[in-house]
Structures are given as C-alpha cells and as structure tokens.
Chain A
C-alpha cells in the first residue's frame, strides 16, 4: 500500500461547500497528481492545473479519464514562471501551494 492522502475527500467536500464550479474556467496551482483536479473537472467548464513536480503531473495525466480529457489541461510549471493570459479564468484554487 502506498500512503493515501484524504481518502475521505475532506478537501474536495470543503471546496464544494464554498464554491459552485459549474461552467467555470478554473486555474489550479499545485495540482500534484490531480487529486482535486478530477473532482473540480467533474463540474467545471475547463481546468488548467499545474505543478512544478513533473512526476506528479505525469501521474495526473496518466490517471485522467477519457471523459474528462477535453476539460483538463495539465502543465509542469511553477507559479513563478507560468504565463497566463490576464483575466482569462473565473477562479483560481491554491491547493496547499502558496
């Protein structure tokens, strides 16, 4: 067994208590292996999720279900260096990442 973070889904439940992701364009900083990304992408119009950990992002890409493939873009990048068009997202999520 490998360690499992938040098997109970406490983080995603908190995000959903505070936000309605439906039809929103979401920027996620610190996506890691996509643990929260998939739950957000279930409702969002699109998620751009990024993390500087290339191995984690590769795991995220590998586990992305085909039905969500059009709704999620993963990138290997840090918050310092990534270039995002201004005012192009409805919301940003900092996942333990600031």
Chain B
C-alpha cells in the first residue's frame, strides 16, 4: 500500500469495528531480513522499501493512539520465514519485487542447491477501540 493511502484505509477499517473492538496490526520491522540456509546467514536484504510503508502505517496508528481512539494492549515480536527449494527459486521470487537482493550475492545464491529461506522480523500489535459509556451503561459511538 502506498504511504499516502494508509490514513484513509486505516480510518475506513477502524470505522467498521464496534466500539471496544480490536485492531490487530501485523508489520515487518527492522532489522533487515536475511537469507539463510541451514539456519546460517548467506546475505542480508535491504528491507527499506517495505519499512517505509510500515513506518507510515505505524505513524497513522500512533496518531489514533495519541488521539485516544485506540488503546495499545499487547505486542508480539516474532520471526517468520519464507522457504525455497534452492537459491534459484529464491532469486526468481524476488524478480520485480520492491525489495532487491544484493547484487554481490546473486552468483552464490544461484549456485545454492539446498533449501533456503528468507527470515524477517515481524511485530503484531493489538489495540482496542475506545469504548465510551453513558451513565445508563449504553454504548456511545466512537468519534
């Protein structure tokens, strides 16, 4: 998603959720992803093209947190891997992608005949929408 669209989409989706409901946001986070084989690092990938979008999403969410519309409740950082049969399959999968494999690593990656994987760090955040109540216990709508 283009950074300029993030605020509009976030607003559109949050309005679909009931007051007191939850927002779960899964994003890639720094450091850069790495290519591994047998859990050993082969090379690092410049993650900035995706981090810029993730930063824009985080900024849009933080604005709702500061405005009191979302309340952060929990964070879970974890690694996720994309698995490939060999290096050629991995290189081909990156064709046309925003993230580029480093040029200096391409010859060795293409020679890689063993299974390999791209490992990246992800963050899942849970937020609750503001829940407003009247004195009689009825819901009020979010702003």
Report which A residues bind B (CB closer than 8 A): 1, 3-8, 10-11, 13-15, 17-19, 27, 29, 78-80, 82, 84-98
Report which B residues bind A (CB closer than 8 A): 1, 5-6, 8-10, 12-19, 21-28, 53-54, 57, 60-61, 74, 76, 78-85, 89-90, 93, 122, 124, 126, 141
**Structural contact, A87 and B9, CB atoms closer than 8 A:** no
**Structural contact, B89 and A86, CB atoms closer than 8 A:** no
Give the residue of B9, B27, B126 whose beta carbon is less than 8 angstroms from that of A96: B27
Distance between A65 CB and nearest chain B CB, rounded to angstroms:
23
Chain B residues, Cβ within 8 Å of A95: 26
Give the residue of B1, B12, B15, B79 whose beta carbon is less than 8 angstroms from that of A10: B79
15 new A-B contacts at CB < 8 Å, known A13-B78, A92-B14: A4-B83, A6-B81, A11-B26, A11-B124, A14-B76, A14-B78, A18-B24, A18-B124, A82-B12, A87-B19, A92-B16, A94-B26, A96-B27, A97-B26, A98-B9
**Structural contact, B83 and A7, CB atoms closer than 8 A:** yes
Distance between B118 CB and nearest chain A CB, rounded to angstroms:
9
6 contacts between A and B (CB under 8 A): A3-B82, A84-B16, A86-B15, A94-B13, A96-B26, A98-B6
Give the residue of B9, B27, B78, B124 whose beta carbon is less than 8 angstroms from that of A80: B9
Chain A residues, Cβ within 8 Å of B60: 98
Chain B residues, Cβ within 8 Å of A79: 1, 5, 9, 12-13
Distance between A51 CB and nearest chain B CB, rounded to angstroms:
11
**Structural contact, B16 and A89, CB atoms closer than 8 A:** yes
**Structural contact, B16 and A80, CB atoms closer than 8 A:** no
**B73's closest neighbor in chain A, by CB?**
A18
Chain B residues, Cβ within 8 Å of A27: 13, 16-17
Chain A residues, Cβ within 8 Å of B25: 94, 98
